[in-house]
Amino acid sequence: MTPQRAWCVLPSCFDRSTLFPMTTVAEISGAVRRLPKRDLARFRKWFMEYEAAAWDRQFEQDVATGRLDKLAREALKELRAGRTTEL
């Protein structure tokens, strides 16, 4: 399987008039460490949104495929038995 490639789109890449593929966590983390504070803040915001969207997609897939049905039944059973509290 071919590894996924991330392309450097940081201002420092454009300053050198070159783009280079990043294929390892070490390469990507190194690029993140070199980000100026402003770009790091923008990256952090983007990554948090990316992670939240990925989590939402996984949750929706788990619901659609019934992976959470057993947990829901157990939670309702505990609620009906009075062994839970509602906030």
> Cα 12 vs. chain centroid, distance in angstroms?
24
| CA–CA dist 84, 87 (Å, integer) | 10
Its pTM surpasses 0.85:
no
Is 22 in contact with 5 (CB distance < 8 Å)? Answer: yes
3 state SS of 75: helix
pLDDT in tens, 17-67: 456 688 899 999 999 999 999 999 999 999 999 999 999 999 999 999 999
